[in-house]
């Protein structure tokens, strides 16, 4: 995925600005958070990552997932996303 529309500059946990390609943003009202599934832009890997997405007035910040319950939630969403991608189902449910 190298679409400029899905690319964000975010601050990582070390405070550095990095570019990521957004795969999905998942609202999680039960945790009062939004999670983001992403890949690092221009990386030579197919690895996906997940973090908490925190938006401020001037930047987006990636924070670590804090609990096992949050990790279980995001793993279920990643598995669902992977299944849909392998089945050729788009985000809107169309093939």
Residues 6+ apart with CB under 8 A from 74: 26, 35, 37, 50, 65
Contact 54, 60 (CB under 8 A): yes
Note the pLDDT tens digit of each residue in 1-31.
455 578 989 988 888 899 999 989 999 999 9
Q: What is the pTM of this model?
A: 0.74
Distance of alpha carbon 17 from alpha carbon 13, whole angstroms: 10
Residue length of the chain: 95
């Amino acid at each position: 995925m190298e679409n400029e529309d899905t690319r964000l500059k975010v601050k990582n946990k070390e405070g550095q600005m990095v570019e990521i390609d957004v795969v999905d943003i998942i609202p999680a009202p039960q945790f009062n958070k939004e999670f983001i599934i992403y890949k690092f832009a221009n990386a030579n890997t197919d690895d996906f990552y997940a973090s908490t997405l925190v938006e401020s007035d001037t930047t987006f910040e990636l924070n670590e997932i804090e609990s096992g319950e949050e990790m279980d939630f995001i793993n279920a969403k990643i598995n669902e996303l992977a299944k849909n991608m392998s089945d050729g189902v788009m985000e809107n449910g169309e093939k």
